[in-house]
Amino acid sequence: MSFINYASREINCKIVYYGPGLCGKTTNLQFIYSKTAPEAKGKMISLATETERTLFFDFLPLALGEIKGFKTRFHLYTVPGQVFYDASRKLILKGVDGVVFVADSQEERMDANIESLDNLEFNLREQGYDLKKLPFVVQYNKRDLPNLVELDEMRRELNPAGVPDFEACATTGEGVFETLKAVAKLILIDLKKGK
Amino acid sequence: MTTPQMVMFEAEFKQLNYILEKLLREANAKVIFLVDKNGQLISGVGETERFDTTSLASLTAGNIAATGGLAKLIGEKEFSILFHEGEKDNLHISIVAGRVILVVLFDSRSSLGLVRLRVKKASEELSEIFENLAKRAEEKEKSGESDFPFAEITDDDIDNLFS
């Protein structure tokens, strides 16, 4: 849950990037990091294995600016995508304010996408969250690759509720900021309602 | 939702810092941080400018979450104290009021025994403040009163953040 500090006039929100292994969660964060002004970002932390697979999480703090005199900070986290790191994924979802599901658009990864989305719903439910009520956006990543699943089919499988969704290519940055903006906006709208 | 929203007010913030400053002196520590279990930094005293406090907060929370997971696997509720010993600096990490994490960084000018002793006393005082905060938040919710600063934000305010 977001943390509101009236003393330092700050509001902190946590966004988690979820998705199957090698779908591009870390690449999303790396792109955001590379394109953000130095004064608006903190250090990016990656707890990864020697082969650069995420082991625990990546973390990127962003300070976007002020709303009503409150500094608005977003803490971006990724989860490790590989199936056997489920215990770690659960931990990272604690206190989440919004979720980005990064799907891999390649045909052979469609099963992994569906499995990961189920896993997300399950892990959230275990912590008392309902994905339908949480700020949630979907990103169809790797749209630059050849063996793509049609967008309609991906939507049908991964976004039946019709939440905001975006085509992306995280390596070139296409769709990356659009995705982030969409989820940040949903979180702020949620905060506006005063939850 | 499992964890209620954390809200910090000016008066409590001052009280917290007073306790942290006192602990800093009495434990002979270099820096002390108070971190939310979700990884948000609440406050820090001492030589804070020497450290990347945001990263420290997030990693501490990850650390507590991971050891908490381990604890559950072996049938413990949690490990309430963690101690990391370095060549020069050491970290003493403890859970306060089941909700926040107290991080004390100290070197050879202090000792684990002293830090443990002082942390124990400070924890009791801190717990009291967090209980008060929780009560205050609850009362506010019950009365339906809202001085929430975001209640009046417009779509333009949100869009401006990204311009």
User: What are the boundaries of each domain within chain A?
Assistant: 3-192
pLDDT value for B1: 38
A38 near B CB under 8 A: no
The torsion defined by the Cα of A80, A191, B98 and B137, in degrees rounded to 10, comes to 180
Domain count of chain B?
A: 1
Q: Running DSSP on this structure, what letter comes out for residue A4? A: E
> A131: helix, coil or strand?
helix
Secondary structure letter of residue A150 according to DSSP? P
CA distances, B118 to each of B23, B78, B102, B110 (Å): 7, 21, 12, 11
Q: How many CB atoms lie within 10 A of CB B120?
A: 11
Strands, DSSP E only, in A2-127?
Answer: 3-5, 10-18, 45-48, 54-67, 70-78, 98-104
Residue B4 covered by a domain: no
Would B1 be classed as within a structural domain? no
pLDDT score recorded for residue A192: 79
Asked if the C-beta of A48 comes within 8 angstroms of chain B's C-beta atoms, the answer is no
User: Is residue B111 in some structural domain?
Assistant: yes
Q: In a 3-state reduction of DSSP, which class is residue A194?
A: coil
Q: Which residue of B has its CA nearest to A8?
A: B10
CA distance B17 to B36: 15
pTM more than 0.80: yes
Which pLDDT score, from 0 to 100, does residue A3 have? 84
Beta-carbon contacts of B131 under 8 Å, excluding residues fewer than 6 positions away, are: B97
User: Long-range contacts: A126-132, Cβ < 8 Å, 24+?
Assistant: A126/A90, A127/A90, A127/A93, A127/A94, A127/B2, A128/B1, A128/B2, A129/A93, A129/A96, A129/B1, A129/B2, A131/A99, A132/A161
Radius of gyration of chain B (CA): 18
Amino acid residing at B139: E
How many residues in total does chain B contain? 163
B40 contacts A75? CB cut-off 8 A:
yes
pLDDT at B134: 85
Is B62's CB within 8 Å of A91's CB? yes
Matching CATH number, A3-192, of 3.90.45.10, 1.10.260.40, 3.40.50.300, 3.40.50.150: 3.40.50.300
- Quote the minimal CA–CA distance from A38 to chain B in Å: 14
Distance CA A120, CA A111 (A): 14
Instruction: List per-residue pLDDT tens for chain B, 163 residues long.
Output: 345 667 888 899 999 999 999 999 999 999 999 998 888 899 999 999 999 888 999 999 999 999 998 999 999 999 999 999 999 999 999 999 988 999 999 999 999 999 999 999 999 999 999 998 888 877 877 776 555 667 777 777 777 777 6
Distance in angstroms (rounded) separating the CA atoms of residues B65 and B14: 28
Closest to A77 (Cα-Cα) out of A23, A14, A24: A14
ipTM of this complex prediction, to 2 decimal places:
0.80
Residue B155's domain comprises 10-161
The answer to whether the CB of A16 falls within 8 A of the CB of A100 is: yes
Interface of B with A in 120-159 (CB under 8 A): 146, 148-153, 157-158
Q: Is residue B123 part of a domain?
A: yes
Residue A59 C-beta-side C-alpha neighbours within 13 Å: 27
Structure token pair of residue A142: 């790797």
Task: Give me the sign of the Cα torsion angle B37, B41, B42, B46.
Answer: positive
Strand partners for B34: B43, B102
Report the CATH number that the domain containing residue B153 is assigned in CATH. 3.30.450.30
Residue A140 in tokens: 């169809």
Residue B94 phi/psi, 5° resolution? -140, 155
At A121 the pLDDT is: 97
Mind listing the pLDDT tens digit of every residue in chain A (195 residues)? 788 888 888 889 999 999 999 999 999 999 999 999 999 999 999 999 888 899 899 999 999 888 888 899 999 999 999 998 999 999 999 999 999 999 999 999 999 999 999 999 999 999 999 999 999 999 999 999 999 999 999 999 999 999 999 999 999 999 999 999 999 999 998 887 765
* Of A101, A87, A156, A176, residue with least CA distance to A131: A101
d(CA A171, CA A2): 30
Instruction: Supply the pLDDT for residue A59.
Output: 95
For residue B2, tell me if it sits in a domain.
Answer: no
Determine whether the interchain pair A43/B69 forms a contact, defined as Cβ–Cβ distance below 8 Å.
no
CB contact under 8 A, A59 and B55: yes
Secondary structure string (H, E, C) spanning B35-83: EECCCCEEEEEECHHHCCHHHHHHHHHHHHHHHHHHHHHCCCCCCCEEE
DSSP A40: G
- When the pLDDT of each residue in chain B is averaged and rounded to a whole number, the result is 88
